[in-house]
Amino acid sequence: MFKPRLKPLDTYAASRSLKHGIRLLCCAFCLLFISNSAAQEQASTEQLRFVTTNSEFTLLHEMGHLLIHELQLPVLGREEDAADQLGFMGLFLIHDRQQTPDFPLRLLDVADYWRLEWQNAKDSEEQIQAWDNHALDEQRFYNIACLAYGSDPKNLEWIIEMTGLPEERAFYCQDEYEQAKYAAFWFREHFKRSHDTPIQHRIKVIYDAPPHHLDGGSELLEKVEASGELEAIAERASSFFELPRNLTLRLASCGAPDSWYNTKTGELTLCYERIAHFRKLARQLPRLNAKP
């Protein structure tokens, strides 16, 4: 999940074979917002990028949980931290940095999401506590900011100023990024399905009805379904890894901005409300429309 109950992430592992599918998925997310009447308030390009990227990160984080459990990946430290790192590295696999000059801003979008969660007032029951299996929102913000800067310190020094990342942490960020990258690529190489092994299990995509409060929800659902994009990414994940059982990817109405992977049922749930939550938060970003 992403929050207390979430258990997300994914597949960065997903590897090159998933790149196309995830890109298509991104387009699906864009459709969700562009066709939404609320989005007709002319959500800016930056807002759409924020929503799309954080939706991607959520899915990748949950796919990470899926792969950790289904492939029985060794995990040192908290699984939630590992899922965040897998999700972060997954963004590098689905975006070609040479073709997407806004990629550093996408990384910053993920960090900014956690900054907003950290700084926005919450009810006590919604606050992440120190004993939780998730890092505090403030820590997740600095962790992502550090990985973003560490991915290219020579060209992304502006991230330090933009995020307020202390130099005491920034000094080690390149090492942190390289460590996460090494783990991600090791995992991909060691757990990919051999071409000699037939595909025995797959991830099935299920669409629940969108929540009534989501403007244009039905229309958006129809477009996503018609595109077949979720099926494409599920199929690519199924074909790249040797999954031990049949699994499910469900786009659901949950009553809360959540997402999780259920290890018992083998079902990954991405909530309509979580995507709507990103749209709401995007309007709060003070740096939107700012250039690095």
Residues 6+ away with beta carbon under 8 Å from 89:
12, 180, 181, 184
Cβ 274 to Zn ion shortest distance, Å = 12
Tell me the window of 8-16, 161-169, 224-232, 243-251 that interacts with Zn ion (CB under 5 A).
8-16
Nearer to Zn ion, 14 or 156 (CB): 14
Report DSSP state, residue 208. Answer: P
* Inter-residue contact 84 to 140 (CB < 8 Å): yes
Determine the interface stretch with Zn ion among 2-10, 12-20, 196-204, 213-221 (rule: CB under 5 A). Answer: 2-10
Residue number with CB closer to Zn ion (86 or 220)? 86
Q: Is 7 in the site for Zn ion (CB under 5 A)?
A: yes
247 sits in the region (left: phi over 0; alpha: psi -120 to 50; else beta) called: beta
Q: What is the DSSP letter of 242?
A: -
Binding status of residue 8 toward Zn ion by CB under 5 A: yes
3 near Zn ion (CB under 5 A): no
In the bound complex, what is the minimum distance in angstroms from residue 75's beta carbon to Zn ion?
A: 12
Query: Closest Cα to residue 141, out of 121, 173, 175, 116?
Result: 116
- In whole angstroms, the minimum distance from the beta carbon of 156 to Zn ion comes to 26
Residue type, 47: Q
Nearer to Zn ion, 115 or 140 (CB): 140
Does residue 90 interact with Zn ion by CB under 5 A? no
Residue nearer to Zn ion on the CB measure, 13 or 214 = 13
Length of the chain: 292
CB of 120 to Zn ion, least distance (A): 20
DSSP 193: P
CB of 205 to Zn ion, least distance (A): 20
Binding mask 57-86 for Zn ion (x = CB under 5 A): -----------------------x--x---
- Check: CB of residue 40 under 8 Å from CB of residue 234: no
Integer Cα distance of 88 and 170 in angstroms: 17
What's at 199, amino acid-wise?
Answer: I
Among positions 1, 205, 232, 285, the unique one binding Zn ion when judged by CB under 5 A: 1
Q: Could you tell me the two tokens for 266?
A: 């083998």
In whole angstroms, how close is the CB of 111 to Zn ion at the nearest point?
17
Q: Which residues pair with 250 in a beta bridge?
A: 206, 269
Sorted by sequence, the CB contacts under 8 Å of residue 242 that are 6+ apart come out as: 71, 191, 193, 194, 197, 200
- Say how many residues touch Zn ion, by CB under 5 A: 6
Using CB atoms, what's the residue nearest to Zn ion? 8
236 sits near Zn ion (criterion: CB under 5 A) = no
CB of 87 to Zn ion, least distance (A): 9
Task: Give the binding site for Zn ion (CB under 5 A).
Answer: 1, 6-8, 80, 83
